[in-house]
Amino acid sequence: MESLRMVDLQGQYLAIKEEIDDALQRVISQSAFIRGPEVAAFEKELSEYLEGAFVVSVGNGTDALQIAMMAIGVGEGDEVITPSFTFIATAEAAALLGARPVFADIDPDTFNLNPACIEELITERTKAIVPVHLFGQSCEMDDLMEIAKRHGIAVIEDAAQGIGATYKGTRAGCIGDCGTLSFFPSKNLGAYGDGGAIVTHNPDLAERVRLVANHGSRKKYRNEIIGVNSRLDGMQAAILRVKLRYLEQYNTRRRQAADVYDELLSGCEGIERPFRSPEGTHVFHQYTIRVTESRGNARDTLSQKLSENNIPHALYYPVPLHRLPVFSDAANGARWGSMAQTEKAAREVLSLPMHTELTMSQQRFIVETILVFAQEQE
């Protein structure tokens, strides 16, 4: 059995080694390590991939969220609606600006923000809604955008896990006022370090984002507003240019691997396979199953079984954000509505290895272990 990895970045690199090495050598020869031609070329090429959206590259995905919020004016006393079933960065960016995170429940099928749970949370202080395209599948954006438009609220799509996914033919991240991306190495489009971007079809907002990301300055020593310093470096941009050319191929390969998992897990008692919305395309940043609660603490038992067989896996996210001490303390101002589906998902979900180098024999070994677990539970 080949060595199993949750994400096989080494294998992916070896397949494109010559192109990556040439790109890095080009940057070193140019000595353009901050901004420079590679960053400009990457922003242009990513814009073409994202239906002509303006692209502003930044230091990482968390910076992208904070800068997007700053650009639309999120500040002290405002409220930002987000899911609780996600990584902390989504709410952390709002809290850093003095805004109150407001947590909404999720759709039990997609694990994404449920538009039906949003409206009751809106107040006169609500400044933005931040849906997260979790695990590589877009949120139900039509209903969400209708609510936001009716209340005059901005929408910032957190597409850190969803680059390449679509919703009714439109790329994730290109539907709301703006979208944010992460190029963390394990992402579908991953750098060899940190990186991120903000994308928007609004030229004025794009200019504001670029201003915020560059110390609030269009011209050196002529700072107009308080901003931040967040830049994608030339090395990462050169790597991302190479990998962007393969992104559709990578996403197709992930969907094929998901098809294999789906087939092998078909009929497995107590295991629910990922739901795929007919409204868009799933890019499977993660292949996330449910281990149903009817079997008691079954998810954690399966996790232990996988570990005993040296099968990497992950629990995203065992502690919802509203249960973290940093947000659950009423003193910080966070609030939320009913979180029944969020709490249930946190107890049941488990993500299996998913990457472009995954082989059929590896997937069979993983699923055989799950099938043994299921039989032991009967």
pLDDT in tens, 348-366: 999 999 999 999 999 999 9
pLDDT the model gives residue 330: 55
Q: Can 9-104+113-244 and 247-377 be said to share one CATH topology?
A: no
Mean pLDDT of the chain: 95
Query: What CA–CA distance (Å, rounded) separates 221 from 156?
Result: 30
The answer to whether 91 and 342 have CB atoms below 8 angstroms apart is no
- State percent of the chain over pLDDT 90: 92
Question: What is the pLDDT averaged over residues 237-243?
Answer: 98
Q: How many CA atoms lie within 13 A of 305 on its CB side?
A: 22
Question: What is the pLDDT averaged over residues 38-45?
Answer: 98
List the structure tokens of 275.
């739901």
What's the whole-model pTM score? 0.96
* pLDDT grade for 204, boundaries at 50, 70 and 90: very high
- Of the candidates 325, 181, 362, 349, the residue with the CA atom closest to the CA atom of residue 275: 349
pLDDT the model gives residue 1: 55
pLDDT tens digits for range 323-336: 999 987 655 578 89
Tell whether domain 9-104+113-244 is in CATH 3.50.7.10: no
Q: Which CATH number fits domain 247-377: 3.90.1150.10, 3.40.50.300, 3.40.50.720, 3.90.550.10?
A: 3.90.1150.10
Q: Decide which of 330 and 164 is more confident.
A: 164
Strands 100-104 and 79-83: parallel
Question: What is the pLDDT averaged over residues 250-260?
Answer: 98
The answer to whether 216 and 132 have CB atoms below 8 angstroms apart is no
pLDDT tens digits for range 91-131: 999 999 999 999 999 999 999 999 999 999 999 999 999 99
Question: What is the pLDDT averaged over residues 144-153?
Answer: 98
Can you give the residue ranges of every domain in the chain?
A: 9-104+113-244, 247-377
Burial 220-242 (b: 16+ CB within 10 A, else e): eeeeeeebbebbbbbbbbbbbbb
* pLDDT grade for 377, boundaries at 50, 70 and 90: confident
- Give DSSP secondary structure letters for 1-40: -PPP-SS-HHHHHHHTHHHHHHHHHHHHHHT--BSHHHHH
Start-to-end CA distance of the chain, whole Å, equals 28
- State percent of the chain over pLDDT 70: 98
Three-state SS string over 109-171 comes to CCCCECHHHCHHHCCCCEEEECCECHHHCCCCHHHHHHHHHHHCCEEEEECCCCCCCEECCEE
* pLDDT grade for 219, boundaries at 50, 70 and 90: confident
Q: Which helix (H) or strand (E) holds 200?
A: strand 196-200
Query: What CA–CA distance (Å, rounded) separates 372 from 368?
Result: 6
On the question of pLDDT at 3 being above 60, the answer is: yes
On the question of pLDDT at 161 being above 90, the answer is: yes
